Structure 1
Amino acid sequence: MCIQQLHSSVCIHSHLLGQLSLHWTVLRWNLKADKNWELPLPPGSMGLPIVGETFHWFLQGSNFHASRRRQHGNVFKTHLLGRPVVRVTGAEHLRRLLLEEHNLVGANWPQSAQVILGPTSLANSIGDIHHHKRKVYAKMFSHSALESYIPRIKQVVAETVRDWCAREGPVMVYSESKKLTFRIAVSVLLGSLPSKEELTNLFTVFEQLTQNLFSLPLDVPGSGYRKGVQARDKLHGYFEKPIEDMLQSSPEYSTALGILIKSSQEQGMKIGMQELKEAMVELMFAAYATTASACTSLILQLMKNPAVLAKLRMDLQTNGVWPESTTGENVSRLSDVTHLQYLDGVVKEVLRLLPPVSGGYRVALQTFELGGFQIPKGWSVMYSIQDTHDTAPIFQHPEIFNPDRFAEDQMKGKDARFQYLPFGGGVRRCLGKELAKLTLKILAIELATISHWELATKTFPKMLMVPVVHPADGLKVQFSAQLCNEWHS
């Protein structure tokens, strides 16, 4: 039964269940409040027995949390993916959660994600183990490492954009962006790409994993959970040989896998085969799904805001990033990209308006107070990035796409630490954020200097939030090649 059909079935029977179901659900979860605390549970609904509000969440997307926040405030309860959840919005609440990890809250991905990513993954690590792993992994995203990745990223991006421009019909931007970021992830991790057929098969398996990473933990034939586990096992099998080859020879330190192996040796941390396989899958997921979402949003926002695109092109030309060919040879070092302030603002504004991941998961390690309510020990806590961006007082007119809001003079004196956090915050902020931004900037440069694009449908699509932000129809766009000097003719 597909999710739409199941939702319809729930709606048909909900009237028959009526107040009896509602009373049972409320009573059940009130019993889980901490009796040693007089503070009430946050307001909100726990939905139906067992499934809670999971299907409403999938179907309503961003409207699910936004509507409940408007009704209940910045701290409310719900029931998602088999767990009671408190949803939290606002810098004043996020500051406490993110700074007191390992004290008030700990890492808590849904059970399906925990199993599929694996017990040794960085996402599932806690305490000192997590801290040490981050030090080892951080070397893959150092300045020197990022600079060594630039040629591979540029090559993949340039080939992709030329392919889009050469097509006669519209491009499905979201699906093509996933292929783009997947190729970048494989190239950065391994140093080269497999054959076209092998890459296509690998991509299909990886799509199966990402589509089922967040699923009800029902291990039965045909379930999303079972499909996700099967995809994980296939990926582990594929990565075993390149890992063995790397371990048996001198690691190539211009690849992320080689840098990871070397960094682990330097830190005195022996990484075995299973841990490296789980690291590969986790790193690819982090580099693939969220960056594909951001690439799609970048193209969408530049298409929606032609004045921003025109200003970006002018700024690139002023700063000498205006290649005479389609290869962008004058962008070869990290400094060639990082000094472009308006481009930096464009990328930051894309991530503010449409952060790829709408929130992060934690679990209450002890009962604590937040916003005048008790958060019981063992409950999930989901902090909202999207809603926090939308309500942050430092961003005037948040519905408007305005890269100039990130200009140095505009941000001076503003504390954005917990009001702007597209990559999360605290001890679990995204390690690969600079790689993601570098990819977005190289894509923006390539698009702005050699291509033209326009929407191939009558209206812009609705944006869905699960598992990452993406357009409902995939975003159909017609691309065409255009010489850079034509933009000023």
Structure 2
Amino acid sequence: MLFEGLDLVSALATLAACLVSVTLLLAVSQQLWQLRWAATRDKSCKLPIPKGSMGFPLIGETGHWLLQVFSKIFSHEALESYLPKIQLVIQDTLRAWSSHPEAINVYQEAQKLTFRMAIRVLLGFSIPEEDLGHLFEVYQQFVDNVFSLPVDLPFSGYRRGIQARQILQKGLEKAIREKLQCTQGKDYSDALDLLIESSKEHGKEMTMQELKDGTLELIFAAYATTASASTSLIMQLLKHPTVLEKLRDELRAHGILHSGGCPCEGTLRLDMLSGLRYLDCVIKEVMRLFTPISGGYRTVLQTFELDGFQIPKGWSVMYSIRDTHDTAPVFKDVNVFDPDRFSQARSEDKDGRFHYLPFGGGVRTCLGKHLAKLFLKVLAVELASTSRFELATRTFPRITLVPVLHPVDGLSVKFFGLDSNQNKILPETEAMLSATV
């Protein structure tokens, strides 16, 4: 009995220690998110930083005009203008992957792809490929040290992150100045154009420092989560070949693929993509099972009660996206990858307002969600249309959730280009077909 009593005391002590550790972890993680926003900005920047929120840095508690700007940046008209450029960037990337003699690390390459998309399409910078590669390496160093403890010592992660930010901002300032000087030949308004034009319309002309900070934040917002979702999409298409073939059937039915398998000529359009119902189901299911981030923070505006517990006004609370998806009663067999759960016949996500929230919910839902979904849809179409890909390892890798969801080894995959008969294209032929954006 004595030993049983000691075991109980030990178990209670362990439980108490775990609860304290979790509490401290949540408190520290919130502070790190706030430090992350501060780390992306220069101290001379006058744009406010959001309080108690993981929301987009430029939105937060800023003026109404910024909300209008971002409604334009992610409007239907803006997405329509981005679409051909996104398709070209993805096509060019898949050609490079297919011509590579060895397997590629999908997660690392997806990061490069989303960075390139942000630079080329969202910001409209014409940076040479060699300089773009160097800028990505510096940016990767910046990202790797964003969540470092704010201890400014030589060789610390914080110091490396600050140094990387300084190099980044020099490169971005050069690109911004070149962009401001060269206004001819532009066939669409990118996000940075809209930000600059709208600020002038509201009498809030932005300084160079604010433009650099805003540019860096736009890149950050489009980078990690989209790379995570892109990697998860490729992994699920590898795991579920029947889903890939059903997707190809839909593309054939809509005239995007010929019956023999080769892609039809012409660029994609928004109305064309919106008509691909099964593609939409695939993307939704990827985002349900493999949401890039775990959740978000909110500040309590009014004291409320939840399950008998009172949550005071002013507290910071965290909501879990993954736990919501895992426990929502509307989803059947939650661990099964089943795109058809979102079909018109089943519509499992229609039975509740907050059962499905991969992009958050409420007034602070992700402003760039439509751009993210558009990118994933184009990637899926191009993968189904122009590539054959195989897992290069014996088993699929384990998934880690920090800092965003991704495979621990990055997912090693061998890509092959396809000709009209769904056969491999030789690297020499592929090089001849390559195109630049």
TM-score, with length taken from structure 2: 0.82
**1:315-345, Cα deviation, whole Å (9 max, x unpaired):** 1111111168977643332212121111111
Could you tell me how far apart the structure 1 residues matched to 2:101 and 2:95 are?
12
Are 2:84 and 2:267, in contact at CA under 8 Å, matched by a contact in 1? Answer: no
Q: Matched residue of 1:46: which SS?
A: helix
Contact between 2:87 and 2:378, CA under 8 Å: does it hold in 1? yes
| Distance in 1 (alpha carbons) for counterparts of 2:401 and 2:108 | 15
Q: Is the contact between residue 104 and residue 414 of structure 2 (CA under 8 Å) also seen in structure 1?
A: yes
Matched to 1:386, the amino acid is R
State the one-letter code of the partner of 1:411.
S
Q: Which runs of 5+ in 1 are unaligned?
A: 1-17, 27-43, 48-52, 54-77, 86-107
2:211 partner letter: L
**In the TM superposition, what is the alpha-carbon distance from 1:227 to its structure 2 partner?**
2.3
Q: Does 1:257 align with 2:231?
A: no
Say if 2:387 and 2:417, in contact at 8 Å, map to a contact too.
yes
Q: Give 3-state SS (helix, strand or coil) of 1:226's partner.
A: helix
**Matched-pair contact (CA < 8 Å) for 2:342–2:349:** no
| SS at 1:381 equivalent | strand
1:293 equivalent to 2:228? Answer yes
SS state at 1:129 partner: coil
5+ residue gaps in structure 2? 1-8, 51-55, 424-437
CA contact (8 A) 1:139 1:263 kept: no
**Are the equivalent residues in 1 in contact too, given 2:225–2:293 (CA < 8 A)?**
yes
1:45 and 2:8 aligned: no
In structure 1, C-alpha distance between the alignment counterparts of 2:261 and 2:202, rounded to whole Å: 44
- Secondary structure of the corresponding residue to residue 175 of structure 1: helix
Please state if 1:452 is matched with 2:379.
Answer: no
Q: Deviations over 1:153-196 (max 9, x none)?
A: 11111111111111221111000011111111100133244122
Matched, 1:372 2:308: yes
The residue number in structure 1 matching 2:36 is 113
| 1:450-489 alignment, distance < 5 Å | 450-486=386-422
Report the secondary structure of 1:80's partner residue. helix
In the alignment, residue 414 of structure 1 is paired with which amino acid? K
Kindly indicate whether the alpha-carbon contact (under 8 Å) linking 1:368 and 1:375 is maintained by their aligned counterparts in 2.
yes
Task: Give 2:122's aligned amino acid.
Answer: L
Contact conserved, 2:125 with 2:175, CA < 8 A, in 1?
A: no
1:159 corresponds to: 92
**Structure 1 residue 202 and structure 2 residue 135: aligned?**
yes
Q: More deviation in 360-369 or 430-439?
A: 360-369
CA shift, 1:234, in A, is 2.0
| 1:340 and 2:254 aligned | no
Alignment of 1:423-442 (within 5 A): 423-442=359-378
Q: Taking structure 1 as reference, are residues 486 and 150 closer, same or farther at Cα in structure 2, changes over 3 Å only?
A: same
**Which of 28, 35, 59 is the equivalent residue of 1:83?**
28
Residues 394-414 of structure 1, C-alpha deviation per residue, up to 9 Å, x if partnerless?
Answer: 111111111111112322793
The question of 1:312 aligning with 2:312 is answered no
Cα RMSD (Å): 2.9
Kindly tell me: are residues 263 and 219 of structure 1, through their superposed partners in 2, closer, same or farther at Cα, counting changes over 3 Å? same
What CA distance in whole angstroms lies between the structure 2 residues aligned with 1:185 and 1:278? 15
Aligned length: 399
> Deviation per CA, 1:346-377, whole angstroms, max 9, x where unpaired?
11111111011111123456765433334466
Aligned residue for 1:45, secondary structure, equals helix
- 1:215 Cα offset (Å): 2.9
Query: What does 1:45-444 align with in structure 2 at a 5 Å threshold?
Result: 45-47=19-21, 78-80=23-25, 83=28, 110-118=33-41, 120=47, 123-124=56-57, 129=62, 131-247=64-180, 253-322=188-257, 329-364=265-300, 368-375=304-311, 380-411=316-347, 414-444=350-380
Deviation larger for 477-486 or 318-327: 318-327
CA–CA distance in structure 2, aligned partners of residues 249 and 287 of structure 1: 25
Q: Percent identity?
A: 51
2: CA distance, partners of 1:458 / 1:297: 18
- Using the TM superposition, give the Cα deviation of residue 84 of structure 1 relative to its aligned residue in structure 2, in angstroms: 8.0
Residue 484 of structure 1: how far off its partner (Å): 4.9
Deviates more, 1:307-316 or 1:417-426: 417-426
SS in 1 for 2:382: helix
SS at match of 1:410: coil
Decide whether aligned partners of structure 1 residues 109 and 392 sit closer, same or farther in structure 2, where only a CA change above 3 A counts.
Answer: farther
- Structure 1 equivalent of residue 5 of structure 2: none
The secondary structure found in structure 2 opposite 1:110 is: helix
In structure 2, how many angstroms separate the alpha carbons of the residues matched to 1:125 and 1:179? 24
